[in-house]
């Protein structure tokens, strides 16, 4: 029952029905028009024949008189068929003066007011039913000279038969048209729906767990192909996200386990050791430190996830990158000095304004400066460089530090990735992932060049608005 209801709700069924109805309506209209025209034409032709006959007999009557006309009526009716026609002349008092054989037209009575109706040479054309039969006759009555009336009747049986034949043909044709409409509708619907079915099939396959499935291209039309392409692109993205999610989960499981194991270890050592207040204080301090680190990692991971998913709409402040770089440099001056690393800055005179989130842009530069100072030994140099091109603001952080090995270079933006050489320095391997996610959030790009042992250079390119606000640029 349920299945039957569902069939009625399918697009295929509906299209089939609509096409059948459309074909039906069109054929009904066409055949209806033909029917009306045909019956009108037949009637007109019949009336014309009757009028011509009246004219011919009137002429004959005038020239040859009533006796000759009587003979003519007989002869003519027999020639055509006495069941098919009749002719008669009636006096104004309704006496029949001349007539053809009326044996087939017995029931036809003369209306009493016939003479009045036909006064002044009028003619009357009417279709009468022969009493006791289903046959119809078209009768013309017309007043001739001296008030005599001529009446000619002609059976419409042949015309009725023709119309009946037509009606039968018409009924069969409408049935055939309905069937054709249904077939065409079904075919069109099947063809259009084939693409949708392919997509459904793929979606069902994916629902069962096979994320690698894609919708094959077909030839149902551009719209379906576009839908299939959009669907495949979406799948590609979902598959990528799922893969990434899996990797992130694995990383999280692995990287969060270490601090947790450490926390557990600290607690265990304290419990099994001497139960002094100092030991417990030390444990509490270490647990707080490890927990803070964990919380920080989790916060950064959340930040990355949000930036990557694009869920969060960034505030679009007008950020002056020249100022921002100056402030960041001032902020890291102390750290650089402590490490005896020279920190320099090269910025242009102009204010380079881009739309973006000030605190996140600050974070990007801070992370890069932090890394550069962290991975540069005492006596080394770090240079923060800002310049504006017509379309972009370029920010680079170059150092003369340890550099990055070529095998590590493709991975440094991955979450938790830390090159072996840098494991002795503090860090969690999330800084560059966050930087990359935030840069992408600002529709920018980040690249890195490195010379192991000689230094590295990270370069950001952030798009400038097409028409910068001239007021801010002047400041």
Residues of the shown chain interacting with ligand ADP in the complex, contacts defined by CB under 6 A: 371-372, 375, 399, 401-404, 412, 417-419, 422, 427-433, 456
Nearer to ligand ADP, 69 or 301 (CB): 301
For 395-417, give one letter per residue: b (16+ CB within 10 A) or e.
bbbbbbbbbbeeebbeebbebbe
Which single residue brings its beta carbon nearest to ligand ADP? Answer: 427
CA nearest 125: which of 135, 134, 115, 137?
Answer: 137
Q: What is the DSSP letter of 455?
A: E
Rounded to an integer, what distance in angstroms lies between the CA atom of residue 358 and that of residue 303? 15
Rounded least distance, CB 225 to ligand ADP, Å: 42
Nearer to ligand ADP, 149 or 412 (CB): 412
Nearer to ligand ADP, 140 or 300 (CB): 300
Nearer to ligand ADP, 235 or 373 (CB): 373
Angle subtended at Cα 108 by Cα 131 and Cα 145, rounded to the nearest 5 degrees? 160
Nearer to ligand ADP, 88 or 418 (CB): 418
Nearer to ligand ADP, 74 or 457 (CB): 457
Rounded least distance, CB 354 to ligand ADP, Å: 23
Rounded least distance, CB 341 to ligand ADP, Å: 11
Q: What is the DSSP letter of 340?
A: T
Nearer to ligand ADP, 31 or 375 (CB): 375
Rounded least distance, CB 381 to ligand ADP, Å: 12
Residues 6+ apart with CB under 8 A from 92: 115, 147, 148, 149
Rounded to an integer, what distance in angstroms lies between the CA atom of residue 363 and that of residue 360? 5
Rounded least distance, CB 333 to ligand ADP, Å: 18
Rounded least distance, CB 192 to ligand ADP, Å: 51
Nearer to ligand ADP, 177 or 437 (CB): 437
Rounded to an integer, what distance in angstroms lies between the CA atom of residue 17 and that of residue 298? 59
Token pair 């304290």: residue: 270
Nearer to ligand ADP, 208 or 378 (CB): 378
For β-strands 381-388 and 149-155, DSSP reports them as unpaired
Rounded least distance, CB 404 to ligand ADP, Å: 5
Nearer to ligand ADP, 189 or 364 (CB): 364
The two three-digit tokens of residue 177, written as one number: 């048209």
Q: Which residues pair with 456 in a beta bridge?
A: 399, 450
Based on its alpha-carbon atoms, the radius of gyration of the chain, rounded to whole angstroms, reads 51
Whether 153 and 50 have beta carbons less than 8 Å apart is answered as no
HEC secondary structure over 239-266: HHHHHHHHHHHHHHHHHHHHHHHHHHHH
For 292-312, give one letter per residue: b (16+ CB within 10 A) or e.
eebeebeebbebbbebbeeee
Rounded least distance, CB 414 to ligand ADP, Å: 8
CA nearest 380: which of 420, 339, 345?
Answer: 339
Rounded least distance, CB 211 to ligand ADP, Å: 29
Rounded least distance, CB 301 to ligand ADP, Å: 12
């Amino acid at each position: 029952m349920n299945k039957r209801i569902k069939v009625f709700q399918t697009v295929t069924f509906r299209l089939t029905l609509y096409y059948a109805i459309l074909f039906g309506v069109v054929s009904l209209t066409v055949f209806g028009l033909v029917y009306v025209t045909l019956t009108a034409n037949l009637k007109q032709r019949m009336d014309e024949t009757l009028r011509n006959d009246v004219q011919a007999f009137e002429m004959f009557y005038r020239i040859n008189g009533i006796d000759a006309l009587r003979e003519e009526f007989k002869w003519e009716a027999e020639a055509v068929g006495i069941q098919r026609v009749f002719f008669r002349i009636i006096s104004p008092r309704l006496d029949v003066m001349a007539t053809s054989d009326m044996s087939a037209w017995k029931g036809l009575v003369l209306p009493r007011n016939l003479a009045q109706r036909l006064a002044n040479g009028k003619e009357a054309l009417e279709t009468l039913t022969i009493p006791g039969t289903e046959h119809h006759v078209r009768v013309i009555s017309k007043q001739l000279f001296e008030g005599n009336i001529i009446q000619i009747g002609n059976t419409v049986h042949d015309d009725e038969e023709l119309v009946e034949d037509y009606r039968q043909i018409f009924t069969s044709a409408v049935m055939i048209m309905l069937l054709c409409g249904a077939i065409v509708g079904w075919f069109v619907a099947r063809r259009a729906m084939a693409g949708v079915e392919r997509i459904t099939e793929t979606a069902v396959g994916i629902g069962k767990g096979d994320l690698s499935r894609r919708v094959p291209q077909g030839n149902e039309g551009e719209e379906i192909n576009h839908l299939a392409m959009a669907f495949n692109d979406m799948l590609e993205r979902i598959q990528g996200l799922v893969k990434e999610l899996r990797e992130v989960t694995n990383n999280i499981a692995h990287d969060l386990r270490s601090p947790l194991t450490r926390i557990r270890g600290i607690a265990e050592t304290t419990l099994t050791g001497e139960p002094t207040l100092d030991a417990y204080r030390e444990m509490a301090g270490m647990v707080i430190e490890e927990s803070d680190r964990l919380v920080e990692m989790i916060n950064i991971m959340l930040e990355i996830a949000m930036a990557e998913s694009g869920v969060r709409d960034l505030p679009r402040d007008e950020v002056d990158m020249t100022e921002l770089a100056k402030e960041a440099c001032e902020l890291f001056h102390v750290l650089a000095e402590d490490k005896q690393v020279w920190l320099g800055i090269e910025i242009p005179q102009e204010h380079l304004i881009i739309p973006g989130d000030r605190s996140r842009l600050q974070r990007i530069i801070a992370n890069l400066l932090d890394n550069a100072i962290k991975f540069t030994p005492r006596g080394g140099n770090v240079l923060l460089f800002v310049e504006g091109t017509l379309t972009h603001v370029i920010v680079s952080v170059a150092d003369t530090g340890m550099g990055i090995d070529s095998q590590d270079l493709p991975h440094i933006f991955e979450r938790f990735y830390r090159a072996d050489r840098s494991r002795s320095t503090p860090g969690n391997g999330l800084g560059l992932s966050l930087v990359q996610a935030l840069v992408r959030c600002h529709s920018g790009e980040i690249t890195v060049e490195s010379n192991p042992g000689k230094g590295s250079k990270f370069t950001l390119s952030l798009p400038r608005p097409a028409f910068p606000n001239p007021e801010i640029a002047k400041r």
